[in-house]
Chains A and B, each alone.
Chain A
Amino acid sequence: MKVLITGSTGLLGRALVATNGNDDLYTLSRKPINSDRHIVHDLVLPISTDIDFDLIIHCAAEGNVDIVQKDPSIGIDHIVKATVNVCNLARTKKCKLVYISSNAVFGGTNPDYDDNAPTDPINVYGCCKAASEVFVKSMVPTYLIVRPMLLYGRHDPHERSNVVMTMLGKLLAGETVKAAIDVYAQPMWNIDCAISIWQACKKFHNMSINIAGPESMTINEMANRIRDRISEPTTVAGIVEPCSIVDVAPAPRPCNTTFSLRLASLLEHKPRSLEQGISEILC
């Protein structure tokens, strides 16, 4: 099966490539890499290719919530417009499209969120993701919308870090980490997310599926768990300082988008706990 992964140098894109050994994989990003199966392209522009893909997994997007909040045109271009261009490619190739959305499409006031729960974003990033979901549903005959939550894992050093790795780095360096007590998340290791997506691709279509780690916790609790994990046996970790999300994030964040994980529970793969995920990263 010929598969195209957009955003292949990002946290999830890399994991999708790493966890697929069976398919004929092609990758796409704005950055060149040393591969004859890599397409260098900015998806703000329409894309055409002679390769007849059977499946496209669209991960590419601007993932910085605060940057998109400050300049919504970045979200319009690099989330919505890019998705529309990928939808057109999927339509032309008559192939299935897996769109990687986000828990940010939910407002955070009505957990636990079902896979079919209506979207009600509260920031520009979430609006762009929710709008992209609508384009996917209305443009592509066979699709799957996947909404991961708070991914973490080893990232390309030239790419954006993730909150867990940032906390881990600071705590290992003995620095103080400010962590919000009023936002909940279900952190998920990027490799677990990628495995779940490959399984969901085979099992579901024309639906939305929310996927996340097994534990719901505040960001502050998450930081403390990371600290506990690296404090043993002799390492002296930094300090976790409780704060409100408004103290550390310019854009509004949904306070609790905990998922019901109804459809995710039907997948064979069961994601690791945060402690297990951190252990995988550190080993």
Chain B
Amino acid sequence: MITIKQLKEMANEACNTKPLPGPEWPPSIYYRYLGIVARNINCRNFVELGTDGGGAARSVAMMSPGTNVITIDIRKASTIDMINLPNFKFVQGDSVALAEAIGPTIDQELDLLFIDTVHEYDHAMAETNAWVKYMPVGAVLCYDDLYRPGLERLWNDLPFQKTGYRDLHVLHIGGVPTDGGFGVAIK
């Protein structure tokens, strides 16, 4: 089973990994981090809540070809149609409501969940509760933008082993520390 120490070490690896080619997507280090984590834990299914331009999900699909990538957003950005990878699937809809439809198809095989939607306590907690039941013990949960007021509380309330918040904030665009905050937890 993956450990918090190993997850932190992967952040350093991500910082030293070159961005994936393609100016359509930003060179965010946490995109590469998610790909490295997926590859190292032999992730069967990765679910991302909050696709935006698709950069993170694309990185996981490219860096971990054995992972089935499902990314969900209420809106579809124009770059989504440019991602033509066999293990990449975009689903348009509500990130909480879709758990009931998608979750049972990957029950106990959802190894990596990334939450990056509206960054409010109630919504992020609802997302966590909706999806975590489909994750096996030892699966990894990642959260972006933890410095936002609601998510700081969420982070404190999560009943998991955790790292990040301050020491993983370098995972942002181009390696420049931002006020975003990035957190990783183990179920």
- Residues on A close to B: CB < 8 A? 110, 112, 114-118, 120, 138, 141-142, 203-207, 260, 262-263, 265-266
Contacts and interface: CB of A to CB of B under 8 A. Distances in A.
Interface of B: 23-24, 26-28, 52-53, 55, 75-79, 118, 145, 172-174, 176-180
B78 A207 contact: yes
Given A110-B176, A114-B173, A116-B52, A141 B23 contact: no
Q: Which of A115, A118, A204, A265 has the most chain B CB within a 10 Å cutoff? A: A118
Contacts of B24: 263, 266
A115 B26 contact: yes
B178 A118 contact: yes
Given A110-B178, A114-B173, 20 more contacts: A110-B177, A112-B174, A114-B26, A115-B26, A116-B28, A116-B52, A116-B55, A116-B173, A117-B173, A117-B178, A118-B172, A118-B180, A120-B178, A141-B75, A204-B77, A204-B78, A205-B77, A207-B77, A207-B79, A262-B26
29 contacts: A110-B176, A110-B178, A112-B174, A114-B26, A114-B27, A114-B173, A114-B174, A116-B26, A116-B52, A118-B172, A118-B178, A118-B180, A120-B178, A204-B77, A204-B78, A204-B79, A205-B78, A206-B75, A206-B77, A206-B78, A207-B52, A207-B53, A207-B77, A207-B78, A207-B79, A262-B23, A263-B23, A263-B24, A266-B24
B126 to A, nearest CB: 17
Nearest to A143: B75
Interface of A is mostly: loop
B180 A206 contact: no
Contacts of B177: 110
Given A116-B52, A205-B77, A265 B23 contact: yes
Contacts of B180: 118
A167 to B, nearest CB: 32
B27 A118 contact: no
A203 B78 contact: yes
A139 B64 CA distance: 35
Chain A to chain B: the 10 pairs with minimum beta-carbon distance, closest first:
A206-B77, A116-B26, A114-B26, A110-B176, A206-B75, A204-B78, A205-B78, A114-B173, A262-B23, A207-B77
A266 B79 CA distance: 12
Contacts of B179: 118, 120
A263 B27 CA distance: 12
Contacts of B178: 110, 117-118, 120
Contacts of A205: 77-78
Nearest to A261: B23
B146 to A, nearest CB: 12
Contacts of A115: 26
A117 to B, nearest CB: 5
A22 to B, nearest CB: 20
B22 to A, nearest CB: 10
A246 to B, nearest CB: 24
Contacts of B145: 118
A174 B142 CA distance: 60
